[in-house]
Amino acid sequence: MTRRQKFIFVTGGVVSSLGKGLASASIGALLESRGLTVAPAKLDPYINVDPGTMNPFQHGEVFVTDDGTETDLDLGHYERFTNAVGSKKSNFTTGQVYDAVISRERRGGYLGGTVQVIPHITDEIKKRILNVDDTIDVVIVEIGGTVGDIESLPFLEAIRQLRNDLGKENSLFIHLTLVPFIKTADEMKTKPTQHSVRELREIGIQPDILLCRTERLLSSDLKDKIALFCNVDKDAVITAKDVDTIYEVPLLYHREGLDEKITKLLNIWARKPDLFKWEEIVDTIRNPKKEVDIAIVGKYVKLKDSYKSLNEALTHGGIANNARVNIRYVDSEDLEKGVEPPFDGIDGILVPGGFGDRGIEGKIRAIQYAREKKIPFFGLCLGMQLAVVEIARHLAGLQDAHSTEFNEGTASPVIYLIEEWIDRENKHQKRDRFSDKGATMRLGAYPCKLKTGSIAHKSYNTDMVHERHRHRYEFNMAFRKQLEACGMVVTGISPDEQFVEIIELKDHPWFLACQFHPEFKSKPFSPHALFREFIKAALKPKQEKQRCRNK
C-alpha cells in the first residue's frame, strides 16, 4: 500500500441480494472512466474456505480467476465492468482468516498470548485488505452479508479501524440500502434505510454515501429526509433505481453525481468521465436489429445466478452481432423423464458445466438432438465431456460409453480421472475419487493449441489461447482415434498433448465443445470469440429465411 491509495468500503443493509457486487463494479467502471486504476475485492463472512464446494442453489456461480482461485460470483461483475483481473488477493472468507490465525497460533506465532477476535482476527483482515499492488489508485472493498448479521461483525470492525488508520481523505464508506415502495400507501418508505444506517453507526461506522435501491427515482424531499435522519449530505443520497440492463447502472450512478461525490470526498484529481462506450452498449442492448433464441440445458436452472457469467457472455455475443439473445432454460432432469425436448423455435443449444449425476442423461439427449437436427451446439466443461459420451455412444457404437464420474464400471471410459498429472506451475499433482473436493480440480488458466482451419481457430484468429478451467475429469486419449474416425475432431489441445481442450464435429453447421469456461473472460466491450461466433451461427438460419422471404 502507498499513501496515495484510496479505499472505498461498500456495505449492504435491510435485505440481501440488493446488488452490492454490481454497485461496486459500477463504481469501479466510473472511476476507470476518469482515468483511475481500480482493484475490487470481496470479503465473504461465511466459514467455508472458498465457495468451491458450495451448492450452486445456495451460492450461485463459482467464478474462477486466472491464477486458479475459486471465488464469489461478484468477481465476475468486477472483471466484466472494469479492467481489473481477479486473483487470490481479490476474495477471502472468514474461513481463510481463521485458518491463517489458528495456523499461526499452532506454530507459536503469538508467543503464547491469548488469541482473540480483536486484535488478531481483525488485524489479519486488515493485512489482507491492504495487500494491494502499489500501482492501484483506488481499492473497492465489498463486505459480504447484511449489516446486523453476526458473522459480518469482524469485517465491519476491521474497516472501522482502517478508517482511523487511513484517514478520512483516503477512505470512504458507501452503504447500499433499500427504499421500498408500498403500493397500498402509494408511498416510498425511508424507515428501513434509517434503521440500517443506525445499525452501522452503533458499531462506529458513519456512511459517507448512501446508495438507495428503489423502484422509482427519489424525490428531492425524500433525499432531504434521508440526509437529515442518516447524517449525510443531500448530494450523497444516490438513487440506485432498478434498470432494464445491468450495464446501465454506471450511467445511472453518473447522472446522480456519484463519481463526482466520490472524487470530492477522497480529494482525487481526475479527468471528466468518458462514458461513451457504456452508452453504446446500452443502446445496442435496447435497440437490437436482430433476435435469437438460445436454450440452456442445465441442472441449476431454477437459480439464474448459477449461470451468471454464462448468461452475460451470451448477452455479449448478442451485442457483437447486434442481436437480442432470448434465453430459454431447460431442466435436464425433465428431459430424463421422457419429456419431449422443448426446442421448437430454438436457434442454438448450449450445455453448461456442472457436477454430480443428476440430469446427465437429459443433457446427453439434448446434445443428440442438436447433432441430429443440425442445430448450432456449444458445450462447456461437462457439456464437452457429455458431447464426447454422446458421440461415442451414437456414432462410434460404444453403447455403454460414459464418464467414470458417473459410471466407474463402464467398459468405455471416454472421460476419466487422471490421477497423476503436472499442473500449469509444473508441480506434480496426485488425486483420486476419495481426495478432498475443495481446490483439487484443474483450476485457472491453461494454454490451448488450436488446429488451423477449425471453427475454434477461425473464431480466435490465433494459434494459442489461455482459458480458465474448473473440472476434475478429462478426455481419455485411448479413445481419440476411434472417435475421430466417426466424425469428431480434436481442434484444441494442450501444448504437451496431454489434455484435449476443444472438440468439433464434421458435417455439422456449428458444433463445438470446450473443456474450459470461456464465459469467465467475456466482457461487454470485448465479447468472447466463441460466444460471438456461436450467436452468429445461431442467427444464420434466421437470416437465410429472411433473405428467402425478401426474394
Asked which of 229, 263, 280 is the last residue of a domain, the reply is: 280
Whether residues 191 and 250 share a domain: the answer is: yes
Backbone angles phi, psi at 487, to 5 degrees: 115, -15
Binding residues for UTP are 16, 189-194, 225
Tell me what the pLDDT averaged over the chain comes to: 92
Tell me the pLDDT band of 364, cut-offs 50, 70 and 90: very high
Is residue 329 a part of any domain in this protein? Answer: yes
Tell me the pLDDT band of 424, cut-offs 50, 70 and 90: low
Per-residue pLDDT at 425 exceeds 80: no
Per-residue pLDDT at 299 exceeds 90: no
* Average pLDDT rounded to a whole number, residues 413-418: 92
What pLDDT sits at residue 546? Answer: 59
Count H helices, E strands: the chain?
18, 25
Is residue 446 a part of any domain in this protein? Answer: no
Supply the DSSP string of 61-72, one letter for each residue: PPEE-TT--EE-
Tell me the pLDDT band of 489, cut-offs 50, 70 and 90: very high
Question: Residues 327-356: pLDDT tens digits?
Answer: 999 999 989 887 788 899 999 999 998 888
Task: Report which secondary-structure segment, H or E, holds 102.
Answer: helix 94-106
519 an active-site residue? Answer: yes
Cell of 6: 484510496
Question: Residues 169-189: pLDDT tens digits?
Answer: 999 999 999 999 998 888 999
Whether residues 70 and 157 share a domain: the answer is: yes
Whether residues 360 and 236 share a domain: the answer is: no
Asked which of 259, 280, 301 is the last residue of a domain, the reply is: 280
Active-site residue identified among 79, 361, 390, 519: 519
Per-residue pLDDT at 280 exceeds 90: yes
Per-residue pLDDT at 366 exceeds 80: yes
Per-residue pLDDT at 430 exceeds 70: no
Is residue 536 a part of any domain in this protein? Answer: yes
Asked which of 229, 258, 280 is the last residue of a domain, the reply is: 280
Active-site residue identified among 316, 517, 528, 533: 517
Whether residues 211 and 292 share a domain: the answer is: no
Question: Residues 107-127: pLDDT tens digits?
Answer: 999 988 999 999 999 999 999
Smallest CA-to-CA distance from 247 within 184, 196, 316 is with: 316
CATH of the domain at 227: 3.40.50.300
Whether residues 383 and 509 share a domain: the answer is: yes
**Cα–Cα distance for residue pair 412/401, rounded to 1 Å:** 5
CATH of the domain at 357: 3.40.50.880
Per-residue pLDDT at 428 exceeds 80: no
448 an active-site residue? Answer: no
Question: Residues 204-252: pLDDT tens digits?
Answer: 999 999 999 999 999 999 999 999 999 999 999 999 999 999 999 999 9
Whether residues 182 and 306 share a domain: the answer is: no
What pLDDT sits at residue 53? Answer: 75
Whether residues 213 and 321 share a domain: the answer is: no
Give the other-Cβ count within 10 Å of 53's Cβ: 16
517 an active-site residue? Answer: yes
Domain of residue 55 covers: 6-280
Structure pTM?
Answer: 0.92
Active-site residue identified among 381, 467, 514, 528: 381
Binding residues for Mg(2+) are 74, 142
Contact 371, 505 (CB under 8 A): yes
Is residue 494 a part of any domain in this protein? Answer: no
